Amino acid sequence: MVEFHPFAMVFDNSETAAELRVQYPYFHTPEPLVFDVQGSYADREAQVMRKVEYEWEHSLGDIVNAMVAAGLHVDFLHEFPYSTFSMFPSLMEKCSDGMWRLKEVDGSIPLLFSIKASK
């Protein structure tokens, strides 16, 4: 499984964010976060039918513990300081390897993680 790192999801990701600023909770909450949306994370200009999005955040511990509770053995967990898209539009740059990295603090926070688990 490869997914956006839950820690990266706490920051303001608006088009106008000028710095990394905590805006959302890291830990799971009973009520979802509610967002008005235009497009998708893959294409902000895409035409979408639904204009509201509901999200529940889950910490990295929630994810790993759910796998363990399901009887899976965690083979590895890796974290990466880059993303496959511009998560923070005004704060990132696309690099020669095709990945997006934070301009000012590259390498300082995880943006993606991968985990492999088996029965």
21-31 tens-digit pLDDT: 999 999 999 99
3-53 tens-digit pLDDT: 999 999 999 988 889 999 999 999 999 999 998 887 776 777 788 777 888
Neighbours of 12 (CB within 10 A): 15
Rounded to whole angstroms, the Cα distance separating 40 from 104 reads 25
Cα angle: 6, vertex 77, 108; to 5 degrees: 55
Rounded to whole angstroms, the Cα distance separating 118 from 9 reads 27
The token duo for 29 is 């909450």
Amino acid letter, residue 67 = M
What local confidence, expressed as pLDDT, does residue 36 receive?
Answer: 84
Rounded to whole angstroms, the Cα distance separating 116 from 24 reads 27
Cα torsion 85, 90, 91, 93: sign: positive
Residue 87 backbone phi and psi in degrees, to 5 = -65, -35
What is the pTM (predicted TM-score) of this model? 0.87
